[in-house]
Chains A and B, each alone.
Chain A
């Protein structure tokens, strides 16, 4: 109990902006509160019953003054809103070159998977100086991925994908908390984020890959995409989604990020959530020109499996990606 921290460390690019907003509002609040308290005490004492203060010309209301006061409050409110919205939008959309990390929350742990291959539990290793984008979901109840030193937080919602991003600025070890109450061991659903220099990070990646191959030869090793490919074959997706005349489903090559025309004529962008829905609930959106023969894989694939399939389908869009 010797520790007496006042502020959380500032370890991401956004942390400074959030703190500036915070201190700005603290300053404003202190000034506003002191002014009101000061005036209240001054008036209450000056006009205490029995004091000799002059009470002639008492005002019962002054509409103009009150309007001015409302206007001031509204203008200040808009100013605060604008400042807050600006910082917020800096946290919403990740830069295009961000590293990608997949996060699955479950009672009561964080499961993290890197496209390069490594998988971690309650730990997240990242390099400093590079934006990192998180795609987050949950396999049971709602959790919330929170790193106070980065000033970021995003709920992990079952059935949905949420996004968050950050760029660590300082190598170090930071808190990872679950911020949304999720049951008995909510307060133990914690872990750490290890931010490393790029060189250390590369070394860590290599050591992980080596370790994983040793641990269990075929299934654990490789990248997320290669694990996804194995699933794609193992689950029988490949029997329909092939190129050529024997295809019973559309080719998935180059699908990611494109616009898909549906049977009802509407279009939808093929993003991660769309792929997920196609796997779990294929009947929800039928691709134009195809008989809806795809079965639902609900209950047959885990959230991690779906992430791996997504990575695999994404890899098909890259030049030199796996062929079908």
Chain B
């Protein structure tokens, strides 16, 4: 046994040791905070999911029969706000990123453990405010808060909801800040920038966006609140404001926010592709830089949400061509992931099925994104179900696949238990089928002209909504299954070894689950990213047969 593991066996794991609620709520351990986030984002996913179910049930028939018009508007608003601000945006970074970034770079914790805990509290405060607004009857602005509807005309607790998003935004900013400093300052000896796992690169790019874009949406929401509460003319033209200004501010954040959700998912993808191909990722550097390119270009395309908003047609030209450019770095990632399978040793464990599912859904989401960036076509499909389908493919289909793929991949590390493979594989397949069944019909009904956010609709669209609602049941089962067998595994699952997938990365040198301080001694990195041959924790290190324990190299190294 290597020294890290030996030393570790004397220390309790981060899950062991103190058990009191207080010790959890005041923890500064990034791993415990990640677990707190995991529990909370799951709860919010359920809240957002219930709202989604109401929406889908209402849309089964063209008449508005299940909910009132206002009830429906509130349901889709809750769905959007909760899923985006409280599930998708924190999802991968705050759970997997939080847990893994220090482990991956060989650090004992994030740079600012207290701020990390503060982030979680801000998130929870924002979330509780959101829950209170729901209990008070909700709000009907949609997650987009368009003015002057939100700032003057909307009914419901707009100010409180704005506050919820505002506070949650600061949680996101602080997480980004923490990650950036950690990645700059706390890498273990030998962990050069180009030995960083691509997951870390993706989070670095994500953090930049979180820090630079989130303040803008916070400001925009604040201005809405000011106009609503004090009647200042900011967005309302009746008192001299400019309603379209809000859209610029909002999308200046919310387009990059798509990448706050997507980039970490892409980071997970790179890890999964490398691990389950058991080879180095093809074109490491390009994948790393493409994350930065996406982050940078993502700031320049917000106007593609505004082609019919009265924005100048010439501005539309610029935003359209830049949108095409932002597709290039995504395309190169897909290309490189595919090339990673070449001469690989591909294993089809559950996480890999999720990764393949991501690829399929992301392809459809990305290609329809190109369609939407195409000026002449967007005029027709803008604000229809075509857009709804597109962004669900990217932000939900692909991102949740990646989230679940990552969770299945690192679950043994996080909780020290294996889960049963068969139900995990079944749920990956169910999600893929259910997702397509739910959202593919929405492309068709969108092109037919069904606008989004319609409580009632013309009868000829019904068939597609019936398909979609049926599909959503399959999808729901697919999303619920992991909840069952993962929880089951906590108690009954087989104990996980340090490196159950035979993957490469510093995190796989720690015990499963890791100790509170991650590393007894700071590890020294002597291998390139995903390089099995040099990795001390690998079964095939230096070509040794898998049966021979191969942990000596780390000992040599430190």
Residues of chain A at the chain B interface (Cβ within 8 Å): 1, 3-8, 17-18, 21-22, 25, 28-29, 32-33, 36-37, 39-40, 43-45, 47-50, 53-63, 66, 69-70, 73-74, 77-78, 80-81, 83-92, 107, 140-142, 144, 146, 148-149, 151-155, 157-160, 162, 175, 177-188, 190
> Does A146 contact B376, Cβ atoms closer than 8 Å?
no
> Does B356 contact A44, Cβ atoms closer than 8 Å?
yes
**A61 in complex: contacting residue of B282, B320, B347, CB < 8 Å:** B282
**B308 in complex: contacting residue of A8, A153, A159, CB < 8 Å:** A153
> Does A74 contact B367, Cβ atoms closer than 8 Å?
no
Query: CB-CB < 8 A to A144: which residues of B?
Result: 308, 383, 451
Closest 7 CB pairs of A and B: A148-B449, A159-B237, A87-B376, A77-B324, A84-B374, A88-B375, A43-B341
Give the nearest-CB partner of B444 in chain A.
A6
B149, CB-defined interface residue at 8 Å: yes
Distance in Å: Cβ of B95 to nearest Cβ of chain A = 27
Complex CA gap A56/B69 in Å reads 64
Residues of chain B at the chain A interface (Cβ within 8 Å): 64, 69-70, 73, 140, 142, 144, 146, 148-149, 152-155, 236-238, 242-244, 277-280, 282-286, 307-310, 313, 316-317, 320-321, 324-325, 327-329, 331-332, 334-336, 338-339, 341-348, 356, 359-360, 363-364, 367-368, 370-371, 373-380, 382-384, 444, 447-449, 451-460, 462-463, 466
> Does A69 contact B335, Cβ atoms closer than 8 Å?
yes
> Does B285 contact A61, Cβ atoms closer than 8 Å?
yes
Query: CB-CB < 8 A to B140: which residues of A?
Result: 183-184
Give the nearest-CB partner of B279 in chain A.
A58
Complex CA gap A93/B68 in Å reads 41
Distance in Å: Cβ of A82 to nearest Cβ of chain B = 9
Complex CA gap A74/B322 in Å reads 10
Given A50-B345, A158-B237, A158-B243, 19 further pairs, Cβ under 8 A: A21-B376, A25-B374, A40-B341, A47-B344, A55-B345, A59-B342, A62-B282, A73-B328, A77-B370, A81-B373, A83-B376, A84-B378, A142-B146, A157-B243, A177-B451, A179-B383, A180-B146, A181-B146, A186-B73
Query: CB-CB < 8 A to A33: which residues of B?
Result: 363-364, 367
> Does B317 contact A85, Cβ atoms closer than 8 Å?
yes
Complex CA gap A246/B406 in Å reads 81
> Does B376 contact A187, Cβ atoms closer than 8 Å?
no
Give the nearest-CB partner of B311 in chain A.
A155
> Does A49 contact B449, Cβ atoms closer than 8 Å?
no
Query: CB-CB < 8 A to B454: which residues of A?
Result: 186-187
Tell me the dominant secondary structure on chain B's binding face. helix
Give the nearest-CB partner of A149 in chain B.
B449
Known pairs A7-B447, A33-B364, A180-B383; A84 contacts B375 (CB<8 A): yes
> Does B324 contact A186, Cβ atoms closer than 8 Å?
no
Query: CB-CB < 8 A to A85: which residues of B?
Result: 317, 320, 375-376
> Does A69 contact B332, Cβ atoms closer than 8 Å?
yes
> Does A21 contact B374, Cβ atoms closer than 8 Å?
yes
Distance in Å: Cβ of B339 to nearest Cβ of chain A = 8
> Does B310 contact A162, Cβ atoms closer than 8 Å?
yes
Distance in Å: Cβ of B379 to nearest Cβ of chain A = 5
> Does B462 contact A1, Cβ atoms closer than 8 Å?
yes
Complex CA gap A313/B506 in Å reads 76
> Does A55 contact B243, Cβ atoms closer than 8 Å?
no
> Does A7 contact B448, Cβ atoms closer than 8 Å?
yes
> Does B332 contact A58, Cβ atoms closer than 8 Å?
no
List 5 interface pairs A-B (beta carbons < 8 Å), by A numbering.
A4-B463, A43-B338, A43-B341, A107-B153, A141-B146
Complex CA gap A70/B290 in Å reads 10
> Does B376 contact A84, Cβ atoms closer than 8 Å?
yes
Query: CB-CB < 8 A to A190: which residues of B?
Result: 458
Give the nearest-CB partner of A2 in chain B.
B463
Query: CB-CB < 8 A to A159: which residues of B?
Result: 237-238, 242-243
Query: CB-CB < 8 A to A47: which residues of B?
Result: 277, 341-346
> Does B327 contact A181, Cβ atoms closer than 8 Å?
no
Query: CB-CB < 8 A to B463: which residues of A?
Result: 1, 3-4
Known pairs A18-B376, A151-B379, A180-B146; A40 contacts B356 (CB<8 A): yes
Complex CA gap A178/B383 in Å reads 10
Distance in Å: Cβ of A105 to nearest Cβ of chain B = 12
Give the nearest-CB partner of B282 in chain A.
A61
> Does B375 contact A29, Cβ atoms closer than 8 Å?
no
Query: CB-CB < 8 A to A140: which residues of B?
Result: 148, 153
> Does B345 contact A177, Cβ atoms closer than 8 Å?
no
Distance in Å: Cβ of B254 to nearest Cβ of chain A = 15
Known pairs A22-B377, A153-B308; A43 contacts B342 (CB<8 A): yes
**B449 in complex: contacting residue of A25, A29, A70, A177, CB < 8 Å:** A177
Distance in Å: Cβ of A46 to nearest Cβ of chain B = 9
Distance in Å: Cβ of B470 to nearest Cβ of chain A = 13
> Does A3 contact B146, Cβ atoms closer than 8 Å?
no
Distance in Å: Cβ of A135 to nearest Cβ of chain B = 12
Complex CA gap A91/B363 in Å reads 30
> Does A148 contact B380, Cβ atoms closer than 8 Å?
yes
Query: CB-CB < 8 A to A63: which residues of B?
Result: 283, 286
Query: CB-CB < 8 A to B335: which residues of A?
Result: 66, 69
Complex CA gap A25/B364 in Å reads 12
Query: CB-CB < 8 A to A187: which residues of B?
Result: 64, 69, 451, 453-457
> Does A141 contact B338, Cβ atoms closer than 8 Å?
no
**B451 in complex: contacting residue of A56, A60, A107, A146, CB < 8 Å:** A146
Complex CA gap A184/B309 in Å reads 21
Complex CA gap A25/B278 in Å reads 36
Known pairs A25-B371, A40-B356; A49 contacts B346 (CB<8 A): yes
Query: CB-CB < 8 A to B154: which residues of A?
Result: 183
> Does B332 contact A183, Cβ atoms closer than 8 Å?
no
Give the nearest-CB partner of B443 in chain A.
A26
> Does B324 contact A80, Cβ atoms closer than 8 Å?
yes
**A158 in complex: contacting residue of B148, B376, B380, CB < 8 Å:** B148
> Does A141 contact B448, Cβ atoms closer than 8 Å?
no
Distance in Å: Cβ of A24 to nearest Cβ of chain B = 10
Query: CB-CB < 8 A to B148: which residues of A?
Result: 140-142, 158
Complex CA gap A149/B447 in Å reads 10
Complex CA gap A54/B334 in Å reads 24
Give the nearest-CB partner of A90 in chain B.
B376
> Does A48 contact B348, Cβ atoms closer than 8 Å?
yes
Known pairs A18-B377, A144-B308; A61 contacts B283 (CB<8 A): yes
Complex CA gap A92/B376 in Å reads 10
Query: CB-CB < 8 A to B282: which residues of A?
Result: 59-62
